């Protein structure tokens, strides 16, 4: 219901909103110095303009709510609700909820200034560190609603055997999507492997020997700004949120350079080198993903140190994702990596969280070795399997086309499994 504003430039709107949303809206407007009517006008206008469907909001217990809107806006809002087959109460709740999410409290913004930090690690080559690092990064950079829609459709299509292998019911997986916002983050992917497979997969040139690079910043020889090396992935799916720090050929000598610098420079702590180099960029990103080299040297120590749990950081917010394969040599490499992590933690008094395992290139047709290995990964104490990646064609095709997987085949099983990995790591 609407009635004219005294001077005619607004009309009073009477509707309903839950007490919780009313209270949150009132507090947020006070924090941001806004009038409630301005906030609701912005919220309704943005909601009507959105081309992506919003999640339903629980409106049980909604009570009377009124505000002033520009003439005609409420009628246009009701028409949009009709087009979307929604009640006016639900449409208003979605508008307000989305506006609150897009305009967080200043207190929340400054509560944690450090970005999340995920490191994909395994000293065995060919286990899929690069594809997992890039895929999870893409999932966190794409539009949240698009990500949720793709995942929801994928989960609805899963067979009984698929769900059994994942180890979750359909209801549990759908609840995870509802409880966790995936996507919408500013993400930096660091190609920390001197082989530069990640950069190559996206068609980004490797930094030649001797030029300004992450390596030079780590050993204190850089003259410029590390930001100048960052490449934005110019794909509309990520809306400018996905960036890459390219790999450098100098990475092949990083271990020796770190050791030499530590020997020549008093107070240089080689384990801190990566964190010190990336620190100036951290304020630009919500998540930094490190694609580490297949080694257990000093460069790996620096990556693990970067993934450690920082002071006052929530457990499991940052840490290590370990891609493995369903075969015996992968288990040996896994044990060597865990030993390195535990030794580093003991020596330096750190806590490094295991975010989970990803079983990559799985094919049950390989028989007992594959199936029994998968069972062992699932039963491993102190670990959880985030996802099982099948050996499918879309990843290889995306690499051939020099495109991100989630842009090349956004609805594919592989793309949705990458979203599952990101959702599991972010829990």
Domain count, the chain: 2
For residue 321, pLDDT beyond 90: yes
86, 107, 128 - which closes a domain: 107
Give 8's pLDDT tier (boundaries 50, 70, 90): low
Give 356's pLDDT tier (boundaries 50, 70, 90): very high
107, 129, 146 - which closes a domain: 107
Do the beta carbons of residue 269 and residue 209 sit within 8 Å?
no
The pLDDT of residue 244 is: 98
Give 332's pLDDT tier (boundaries 50, 70, 90): confident
Give 80's pLDDT tier (boundaries 50, 70, 90): very high
The verdict on 194 and 283 lying in the same domain is yes
Angle between helices 144-157 and 170-179 (to 10 degrees): 180
The verdict on 296 and 205 lying in the same domain is yes
The verdict on 154 and 190 lying in the same domain is yes
Give pTM, 2 decimals.
0.73
User: Could you tell me what percent of the chain has a pLDDT over 70?
Assistant: 93
Q: What's the angle, vertex CA 148, arms to CA 313 and CA 40, rounded to 5?
A: 85
The pLDDT of residue 55 is: 73
The pLDDT of residue 102 is: 79
Cα–Cα distance measured from residue 244 to residue 308, given in angstroms and rounded to the nearest whole number: 22
The verdict on 211 and 83 lying in the same domain is no
The verdict on 339 and 249 lying in the same domain is yes
For residue 1, pLDDT beyond 90: no
107, 137, 155 - which closes a domain: 107
- Read off the pLDDT of each residue in 157-163 and give the average, rounded to a whole number: 81
Angle between helices 393-401 and 413-426 (to 10 degrees): 100
The verdict on 372 and 290 lying in the same domain is yes
The pLDDT of residue 317 is: 93
Question: Domain of 218?
Answer: 116-426
The pLDDT of residue 112 is: 52
Give 50's pLDDT tier (boundaries 50, 70, 90): confident
For residue 125, pLDDT beyond 70: yes
The verdict on 405 and 387 lying in the same domain is yes
The pLDDT of residue 363 is: 67
- What average pLDDT does the structure give for the chain? 88
Give 26's pLDDT tier (boundaries 50, 70, 90): very high
The verdict on 316 and 422 lying in the same domain is yes
The verdict on 99 and 131 lying in the same domain is no
The verdict on 97 and 154 lying in the same domain is no
Q: What CATH number does residue 236 fall under?
A: 3.40.50.300
The verdict on 12 and 35 lying in the same domain is yes
For residue 51, pLDDT beyond 80: no
83-118 per-position pLDDT tens digit: 999 999 999 999 999 898 878 877 654 445 799 999
For residue 3, pLDDT beyond 60: no
As given in the structure block, the two tokens for residue 137 are 């990064």
The verdict on 316 and 173 lying in the same domain is yes
- Read off the pLDDT of each residue in 67-77 and give the average, rounded to a whole number: 92
């Amino acid at each position: 219901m609407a009635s004219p504003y005294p001077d005619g430039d607004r009309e009073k709107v009477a509707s309903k909103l839950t007490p919780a949303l009313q209270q949150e809206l009132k507090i947020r407007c006070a924090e941001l110095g806004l009038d409630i009517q301005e906030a609701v006008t912005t919220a309704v206008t943005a909601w009507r303009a959105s081309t992506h469907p919003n999640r339903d909001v629980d409106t049980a217990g909604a009570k009377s709510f009124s505000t002033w809107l520009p003439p005609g806006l409420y009628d246009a809002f009701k028409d949009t609700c009709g087009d979307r087959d929604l009640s006016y109460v639900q449409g208003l709740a979605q508008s307000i909820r989305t506006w609150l999410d897009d305009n967080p409290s200043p207190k929340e913004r400054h509560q944690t200034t450090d970005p999340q930090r995920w490191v994909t690690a395994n000293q065995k080559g060919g286990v899929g560190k690069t594809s997992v690092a890039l895929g999870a990064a893409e999932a966190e950079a794409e539009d949240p609603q698009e990500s949720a829609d793709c995942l929801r459709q994928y989960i609805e299509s899963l067979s009984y055997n698929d769900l059994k292998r994942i180890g979750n019911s359909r209801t549990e997986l759908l609840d995870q999507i509802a409880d966790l916002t995936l996507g919408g983050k500013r993400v930096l992917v660091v190609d920390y492997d001197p082989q530069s497979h990640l950069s190559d997969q996206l068609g980004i040139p490797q930094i030649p020997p001797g030029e300004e690079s992450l390596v030079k910043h780590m050993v204190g020889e850089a003259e410029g700004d590390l930001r100048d090396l960052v490449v934005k992935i110019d794909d509309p799916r990520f809306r400018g949120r996905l960036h890459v720090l390219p790999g450098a050929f100098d990475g092949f000598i990083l271990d020796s350079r770190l050791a030499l610098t530590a020997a020549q420079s008093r107070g240089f702590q080689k384990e801190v080198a990566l964190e010190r180099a990336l620190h100036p960029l951290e304020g630009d990103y919500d998540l930094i993903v490190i694609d580490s080299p297949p080694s257990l040297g000093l460069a790996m120590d620096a990556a693990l140190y970067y993934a450690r749990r920082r002071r006052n950081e929530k457990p499991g917010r940052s840490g290590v994702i370990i891609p493995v394969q369903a075969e015996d040599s992968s288990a040996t490499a896994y044990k060597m990596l865990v030993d390195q992590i535990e030794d580093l933690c003991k020596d330096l008094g750190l806590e490094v969280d295991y975010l989970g395992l990803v079983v990559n290139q799985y094919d049950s047709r390989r028989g007992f070795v594959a199936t029994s290995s998968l069972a062992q990964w699932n039963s491993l104490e102190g670990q959880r399997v985030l996802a099982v990646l099948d050996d499918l064609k879309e990843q290889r095709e995306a690499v051939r086309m020099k495109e991100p997987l989630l842009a090349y085949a956004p609805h594919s099983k592989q793309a949705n499994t990458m979203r599952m990995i990101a959702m599991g790591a972010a829990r």
